[in-house]
Every structure is written in structure tokens, then in C-alpha cells.
Amino acid sequence: MDSVPHIVLQFGPLAITRTVVTTWGIMLFMAAVSWLIGRRLGPEPDQMQAAAEGVVTALVDAVRAVLPDYWERVYPFVATLWLFIGLANLSSLIPGLHAPTGDLSATAALAAVTFLSVHWFGVRIDGVRDYLRHYLKPSPILLPFHLIGELTRTLALGIRLFGNMMSLEMAAILVLLVAGLLVPVPILMLHIVEALVQAYIFGMLALVYIAGGIRSVGSPRSPEERSSQ
């Protein structure tokens, strides 16, 4: 894996790297597949619709198990994270492509989005006052430690995904260099499993962080109680 980002296009000071191009390609692919499946929905699902419904059901069950009270609000974001990171991790299986998640800038961006989403959902669901107040519990003395914890877990989230994917690609390259094409299938299966596992871990950690921010305020309240503040 290159230590210097590979620049594909240069527009003055603006550089479009290989990571950006691959990320755009994955986003376009997800949009195209969503549009294709959406326009073909019917009461009698075909194989593509059945597969999509199975994936959606599995993701809904996973989000609902962690955050049963507000899963409908959080689900679109977490499900998108799972799908995008999973496809990004698997993109390195295509000859000539490298996984965007093997670039620290991409994983840092994903971690930053997760960091912002935790506070976004917390404020939207609990209100600004109650959400900010939970940083002072059980004692205002712990405020610096809460803030440090927010930053360190975000940093660890991005570095963990980057390190795992970079090491996975390097291990696959080294094994193929040593053994040639004698062990392509086992390496391929290992890569697929590890790529999906890393996507699941990242999305689940994001979900746990969001749920923790919401539940730290207290028990769930009805919309009427939140709007009366």
C-alpha cells in the first residue's frame, strides 16, 4: 500500500486522489442499485428484491436490538454506514482498486461523521439542555474526562478501521507474493469475511455510541414531553 496518496486529477491546489474516486464510485453504485431495486418493487419479489429485503430486515433487527425506542430515526444513518464500509472494504478485491478504508483520511472522515451524528441524534431526541447536561453527571468535575473520552474514542474508531484494513491488504499481498496463485481462494474468503466483520464492528460501535448518548440522559420520553420543554 502506498504511503503517499495516489493523485488521479489535479485542479490547481485541489487534488483528486484515488481514494476519492473510488469513494465516489461506491456512492454511485449504491445509488444506482437502490434506484434499480426501488423501481422494481412488487408484491411478488424477485431474487433481487428478496435479497434486498433480507439485508434490510437484518439491519433493522440489529439496530432495533440496541436502540428499540428510537431505531427508526437512527436506522438510515447506521445502515448506510454498514453498507458503505462493507462495499468499501470489498472494493480491493477488484483488480486495480484499493479499499478507501485503507486510507487514513477516509476512515478519519467516517469517524468524524460518526462523532457528529452522536451529538446530532442526542440533541434531536433529548433536546439541547438535557443532552449537554449529561456531560456534568454525576459531577461537573468529570466534564474534562467526558470530553477527552469523546475525542479518544473517535480517534480510535478511525485508526482501528484503517489499521485493520491496511494490515489485511498487506497480508494478502505478501501471501500471494510467496505462494503465487496456489492459495487464492482461502485468501479471498478470508478477505471477504474480515471486510464484512470490520464493517459490522464500525457500524455497531457507531450505534452503541449513539445509543449511549441518548440513554445517558434518562429514560425515553414521549414526543409530547420533549416538545413541552
For 40-71, write each residue's pLDDT tens digit.
787 877 888 888 889 999 999 999 999 888 88
Position 135 scores a pLDDT of 83
Instruction: State yes or no: pLDDT of 1 exceeds 90.
Output: no
Are residues 37 and 29 in contact, defined by beta-carbon separation less than 8 angstroms?
A: no
Position 227 scores a pLDDT of 43
For 160-209, write each residue's pLDDT tens digit.
999 888 887 777 777 767 766 666 666 677 788 888 999 999 999 999 99
pTM of the predicted model, to two decimals?
Answer: 0.82
Residue 188 has which C-alpha cell?
Answer: 479471498
Q: Is the peptide bond before 223 cis (omega within 30 degrees of 0)?
A: no
Are residues 79 and 73 in contact, defined by beta-carbon separation less than 8 angstroms?
A: no
CB atoms within 10 A of CB 80: 13
Position 24 scores a pLDDT of 93
Q: Where are the domains of the chain?
A: 7-227
